[in-house]
Chains A and B, each alone.
Chain A
Amino acid sequence: MKKLLCAALLALCCSAAQAAGIDFDPETVSGPSVEKICMVIVANADSQVLAAEKGEIDVLSDIARPSDINRLSASPRLDMSLARGFHAFFLLMNNQTPPWNDPAVRRAAAMSTDRNSMVRNIYQGYCEPINSWLPPVSPWASAEGTRNIFDRAAARELLLSAGYRFNYAGRLLMPDGSPVPAVKLLAPLARVAPTTAEMAEQIAASLNASGFDVEVEPMDFSAMIARLDRKDYSLAVLAWSMGRNPDSLYSFYHSSMDVPGGYNMTGIHDASLDAALERLRYAPDKESAEKASAEAQRLLAELVPSVPIYSRFSVAAFSNQWKNVISTEKITADNMWTLMRAVPREGPMRPLTIALAEEPRSLNPFTASSAYSWQVLGQVYEGLIGTSPLTLEDMPGLAESWKVAVEGAGKDAHTALTFRLRPGLKWNDGSPLTANDLKATIDFLKKNQIPRFYDAVKNVASAEALDERELKVTMTGVSYWYLDNVAGLPYMPERVLKGISDWQNWDPLGSGGPSALVGAGPFALEEYRPGEYVMMTRNPHYWRLSLKEAKAR
């Protein structure tokens, strides 16, 4: 069954910005215009939707249920925005056990899953069927990633030419004549992921229609992870959030990661894929990284260690009582740029209310692990390099320019990163921000081996402040990705770091009050009322405030 529609979706990734009717240049935008942000904790999805409809909250991010999306889109108070996300849902196959140890079978399985139908039936179309191992929104993802490969007839051809047969009932037979083993598809419990269980059923049905014999086995999430770790499974479904950078492919598909605790859950061991992934991870510069990334993705499409199924769109609702809201095809309206420019449509400035789905239990940047904590902390801290909302590529942040160079030769070759800070930077308490503070942060994280940032700083050989505004970080080994690792750390003043004797038990709110969280981000923490809300106030010393805007508001 051939489908017609494919290339139309390519238009989605190639078109230019659709900033909601406003021209804006992220490099020169001045702000934030919002003075206070109030993040209200609303744990219940139903309550979130009702609060948004009643106008009690202005911003609702990441709306998951299709019925909620449809309902909120009909509300006269709200504007909706949709963007591709970094989420991806995979069908994992144990590459070391039959029948999945044969690439032909894996490819046939990939061609037998009717992604469009699944997305339509379970998500009412609010997900994108993908055939890519990187999220399609990432600038590094291959363009082939959104092509529809569902073709049962071709899958059948492929299997037949690989030596498999079908018996009278349509059941697949191995080349030696025995029927393909009945396998179990592990799926996490519906409590953790309600739609995953339904998706698993549909995948099983899809595969069974092509001659496989698959049965779904729901189980506790941690029990499932434990089995994936031991490779005690045949098929499993798993979803996770990926990052923009392709070097994560190394963690998932390199053979050295097939260890307990490692992420190579499919158990794939392929020499050419390993070589491509190594070239990707240790690429000295952007061009070689791009080549290696394309090659790795091409190989993945051939070997199909796992089958990508879909990626969820990110849908947000924004109250239309605010204007200058910015949304593009790459990010939804609830982004930093909106905070830079949004003002109430009528009346005086008032706090922007954002819904938080869970309480941020900890606001200690060294130990906080939940996404909700970082939704708060992410406003307080700022990295050296920012991300463009239009292309998701790098753009200047605290650093106005940077350089990635390879020094030394042969065995001693290593990457050296140089960052040049903007002039006149200040922390949110008014003290000047210098390269010494940056060096102090890197040293602190490395010395204390803080787990969350361990991977980011473990390859730092040394960091030195060449002068007030120039930082040079010398790494061990060569990799282009060190740039993002180092640029994305939560930079803090040296003075604050010196005052932290026990980072594990450091309670930024207890010791000095909210003002102990000193960063260079657009907002500072004003008040945290546990279980109720987090109040943040504009950082008066934020560097963007002093930019002269190119176009009028």
Chain B
Amino acid sequence: MKALLRRPSVWAFICIVLAGIFGPRLLGGSPSDTVGAPFARPAWLGASLSSSKTIELKCSGDRVSVLGAGFAESGGPKAENGSAEFDWNSQPPAIFALEGKIAADPALTATVVWSTPKGDFELARLTGREQYWLNLDARDMMFKRSLGLPLIGQAVADLFPSAGRYALRVSGAHSYSLKLSLPGRRQGLLGTDQRGRDVFALLLSGISTSLTVGISATLAATLLGLGFGLTAGYAGGLTDALIMRAVDVLLAIPTLPILMTLAGLWGKGLWQLVLILSIFSWMGTARSVRALTLSVREQPWVEGLRALGAKRGYILWRHLVPETAPILLANLALGVPGAVLSEAGLAFLGLSDPRLISWGRMLHEAHSFGAFTEGAWWLILPPGLGIVALCLIFMDIGRFLEEKIDPRLGGKDHA
């Protein structure tokens, strides 16, 4: 036990479990919240890219107030000539979203103008009502059309043509409250995915799913294998033959196609997936347990127990099961990587529950939504490496347990 705790992989495992349990709570919010622009890079990369900024422009009567967030100390927006003015020196942001309300005299025309170093854009021309609600976004087709910008491609680049002074101005209205959101191209610790969700938050919440599926599927498979193996080995005869034939049949069925079909039949969901994965992984354990039972069954001490009148159940439970414990533990640890990879494979094919965040699912979404083409490595490497890390940890633990059982496989002390 002590030796186990000394291995670095066990410590890594404990860290991951703790991160999985407490991480999402510490981060706050839900991992499915949109925090920024799609495919934003990690914030610590690419200083020339823009980070997220917002500007709030308010006016009531004569007083115009401007509030900026995300700007450097000196570069924040200022209220000048009734507009919000600021300097912009980095690359264009990913999104340009303006929303808020404007109150004006219905007889007059209120306009919202965006001025850039290379010219002005009239974002809105409002007349005929007392109150207007604005919800403009540079991604909308109508927005692009009304400004004469090309319909395909990012209009934001045209709204931020170069470094220089920019201003947002409202004229002809007596009061307004607007918010200009400029989510940047870099965001968060590990960037964002195609929907603008924080990858780090997704990664942390994926820990519990991947671990749950991996461990429970393997646990269920091991228990099934234990049960069938013991029965087959101890009872022998017809039962043994039947169980072994069932094992052969299940092994003869190609795994991936059957998993796909069953996932389609029984629906998605965490526990259905666990069930399906466990049904197709108990065979190896059953065979090992059966072999062990066969050899132990004939041992003198077992015969002795039988002679003393011990019931079958007692012999199985109190004596045979502990004999199999080392094999089971090793198989458990070695089986988890298989389950985690199978889940990743199924999720990659799109067969897992889309509402459940798992690392396999993250890879599937990365693949489906073009992360590879975008070169969005922050969407691909973290979950991929996470899966690798989990597998390595369990393989290490499993190898350690295996060495305990069969010392010849051990380290340098053994020839």
Contacts and interface: CB of A to CB of B under 8 A. Distances in A.
B351 A191 contact: yes
A190 B350 contact: yes
B264 A68 contact: no
A189 B141 contact: no
A514 to B, nearest CB: 34
Contacts of A81: 152
Contacts of A126: 141
A489 B191 CA distance: 53
Contact of A194 (B133, B142, B368, B373): B368
A68 B145 contact: no
Interface string B333-372: 0000000000000000111011100000000110111101
B140 interface: yes
B154 A70 contact: yes
B166 interface: no
Given A67-B39, A218-B268, A80 B152 contact: yes
Contacts of A1: 133, 135
A44 B370 CA distance: 11
* Interface hub of A45, A125, A216 (most chain B Cβ within 10 A): A125
Contacts of B368: 190, 194
B327 interface: no
B353 A128 contact: no
Contact of A9 (B136, B139, B142): B142
B355 A216 contact: yes
Nearest to A117: B135
Nearest to B37: A124
Size bracket of the A interface: 35 or more
Given A8-B142, A11-B145, A125-B140, A197 B194 contact: no
B196 to A, nearest CB: 8
Contact of A46 (B139, B153, B373): B373
B139 A125 contact: yes
A309 to B, nearest CB: 16
Given A4-B126, A8-B145, A218-B354, A45 B370 contact: yes
B134 interface: yes
Interface in B149-163: 150-154
B38 interface: yes
B268 A189 contact: yes
B250 interface: no
A73 B152 contact: yes
B355 A4 contact: no
A155 interface: no
A5 interface: yes
A201 B196 CA distance: 15
Interface in A418-437: none
Interface string B245-276: 00000000000000000001101100000000
A60 B143 CA distance: 26
B173 to A, nearest CB: 13
Interface in A59-75: 65-71, 73-74
A49 B264 CA distance: 30
B64 interface: no
Contact of B153 (A2, A68, A73, A198): A73
A223 B261 CA distance: 12
A357 to B, nearest CB: 14
A500 B351 CA distance: 43
A189 B351 contact: yes
A222 to B, nearest CB: 8
Contact of B350 (A4, A5, A65, A189): A189
B370 A80 contact: no
B13 interface: no
A18 B78 CA distance: 43
B132 interface: yes
A117 B3 CA distance: 56
Contacts of B153: 69-70, 73-74, 80
A69 B350 CA distance: 23
B9 to A, nearest CB: 34
A216 B268 CA distance: 12
B154 A4 contact: no
Contact of A67 (B38, B143, B152, B354): B38
Given A12-B145, A67-B39, A218-B355, A116 B135 contact: yes
Contact of B370 (A65, A128, A219): A65
Contacts of A452: none
B141 A128 contact: yes
Contacts of A8: 142, 145-146
Nearest to A12: B145
B34 interface: yes
B374 interface: yes
A315 B133 contact: no
B292 interface: no
Nearest to A201: B355
A156 B251 CA distance: 59
A49 B369 CA distance: 12
Given A189-B350, A220-B267, A69 B139 contact: no
A274 B65 CA distance: 59
A67 B141 contact: no
A82 B146 contact: no
B399 interface: no
Contacts of B195: 121-122, 198
A166 to B, nearest CB: 22
A68 B133 contact: no
B370 A67 contact: yes
* Interface hub of A191, A216, A218 (most chain B Cβ within 10 A): A191
A121 B194 CA distance: 9
A547 interface: no
A4 B132 contact: yes
Interface in A97-128: 116, 120-122, 124-126, 128
Contacts of A223: 264-265, 267
B240 interface: no
A1 B372 CA distance: 39
B98 to A, nearest CB: 12
Given A8-B145, A116-B140, A190-B350, A121 B34 contact: yes
A192 B260 CA distance: 13
Contacts of B132: 2, 4
A13 to B, nearest CB: 12
Interface in A1-38: 1-5, 8-9, 11-12
Contacts of B364: 190
B137 interface: yes
A65 B367 CA distance: 11
A50 interface: yes
A313 B139 CA distance: 14
B17 interface: no
B135 A3 contact: yes
Contacts of B144: 125
B151 A82 contact: yes
Given A189-B351, A191-B350, A197-B354, A124 B370 contact: no
Which 5 pairs across A and B sit closest by C-beta, in order of nearness? A191-B350, A125-B139, A73-B153, A67-B370, A220-B264
12 contacts: A3-B133, A4-B134, A5-B140, A8-B142, A12-B145, A71-B373, A190-B354, A194-B369, A218-B268, A218-B355, A219-B267, A313-B141
Given A2-B132, A82-B152, A128-B141, 14 more contacts: A4-B134, A5-B142, A12-B145, A46-B367, A46-B373, A50-B373, A67-B39, A71-B374, A73-B150, A125-B140, A189-B351, A191-B351, A192-B350, A218-B354
Interface of A: 1-5, 8-9, 11-12, 45-46, 49-50, 65-71, 73-74, 80-82, 116, 120-122, 124-126, 128, 189-192, 194, 197-198, 201, 216, 218-220, 222-223, 313, 315
